[in-house]
A = this chain, B = another copy of it.
Amino acid sequence: MKGIRQLAEHLQISTGTVSRALNGKSDVNAETRRRVLAAAEDLGYVPNQAGRSLRQGASKTIGLVLNHGSSVGAGNENFFPLVIAGLQNVLSRHGLDLVLLLCPREENYDAFLRRMVARRLVDAMIITATRVKDPRFAFLTTAGMPFVSLGRSDSALPGNNWVDLDFEGIAERAVLRLFERGHRRIAIAAPASDVNLGKLFLEGYRAGLAKCGLQEEPDYIFYEQALEEGGYRVGEKLLASKKRPTAIVLNAELMSVGLYRRLGEAGLVPGRDLAVIAERESPVGRFLLPRLTCFRLDLDALGRMLAEMLLSNLPAFAEGYQDVPRNRIWPLELVEGESDPPLAAPD
């Protein structure tokens, strides 16, 4: 089956009627619609997307823009697949397809985004891995490309939609919890890059210290990559510190793999010799020994919220999504592990 014309000829009716029948327009005879649908099913007809897109000025496709390295895979296993499931759950109700867009390593990120916008391959975008200063907010706003951001940024404009995890909240709660458990020398690992969550994580950490009446100790802040290797280096630095912290808050659970190894190499036992709380629950953390204390969130619901925010921005779908909030800070719940028992002998 080639196109709608062939289908129409086969049915001996006009392409206009076929199109209306296929698209569920109301002004079509019931029997005609039945015949059209049956024939389309039979002959395996599906509208050519290019034709539709051109005519309608919309591709019915949403793009999820992921940063190479920072987002897919690297430290985010089990994050995006679940968010995507939530996104698709909502989008598919409206016949919208989701495609993932990755900037090729060789291409400049801004050029890539500009090209993706101009090509009009997608009607709207979801951007991720926001930075403190992030030109994408202004660019997409100006370009008229509807979008929602997974992540905050100082560059977000008043009208922009975003959802972000409560990074500051979890860092603060981690500090308070460790304090209650007797810890007074509490370190933190934060990303070395300019991703916005690093800033938030540190803010929460400082807020926590302040609430506990603890002094901030610059030596206890470790800027490292949010991966296994970064965790290993955190361990290295911890072992070298003059007055070693008794607890640490990691902004990524994968770091704990490297940290555990480094501690083990030195004959130290995670949990017993160093309390650890890591940001996000994931299978790796659950099967480490000791099991990580971490924070859990409903990723599927997060994906659905992102989709709903996006739809509230698209004129064709906004009606059903009137009362979706413009912004949302997503809560996380502490999951008790084995990695942060109370300190045996508080200083």
Contact = CB atoms under 8 A, between A and B. Distances in A.
Contacts of A231: 287
B78 A120 contact: no
Contacts of A104: 85, 88-89, 92, 98
User: Which one of A81, A228, A288 has the greatest number of beta carbons of chain B within 10 Å?
Assistant: A81
A332 interface: no
Contact of A102 (B100, B114, B120, B288): B100
A196 interface: no
Interface string A110-122: 0000110011110
Contacts of A322: none
A106 B90 CA distance: 11
Interface string A25-66: 000000000000000000011111111011000010101000
A154 to B, nearest CB: 25
B44 A118 contact: yes
Number of this chain's copies in the complex? 2
Contact of A106 (B78, B84, B89, B258): B89
A56 to B, nearest CB: 9
Interface residues of A, number: 65
A347 interface: no
A284 interface: yes
A133 to B, nearest CB: 22
A75 B284 CA distance: 10
Contacts of A61: 121
Nearest to A66: B100
Interface string A226-259: 0111011000000000000000000000100110
Interface stretch (A8-16, A161-169, A185-193, A260-268): A260-268
Contacts of A72: 72-73, 80-81, 84
A312 B339 CA distance: 53
A327 interface: no
Contacts of A98: 102, 104
A318 interface: no
B73 A77 contact: yes
B284 A261 contact: no
A101 interface: yes
Contacts of A288: 257, 261
A50 B258 CA distance: 48
Contact of A289 (B54, B63, B79, B261): B261
A17 interface: no
A19 interface: no
A155 interface: no
B283 A284 contact: no
A99 interface: yes
A254 B284 contact: yes
Contacts of A105: 85, 88-89
A97 B106 CA distance: 13
Contacts of A59: 49-50
A59 B118 CA distance: 14
A323 interface: no
User: Which one of A99, A228, A288 has the greatest number of beta carbons of chain B within 10 Å?
Assistant: A99
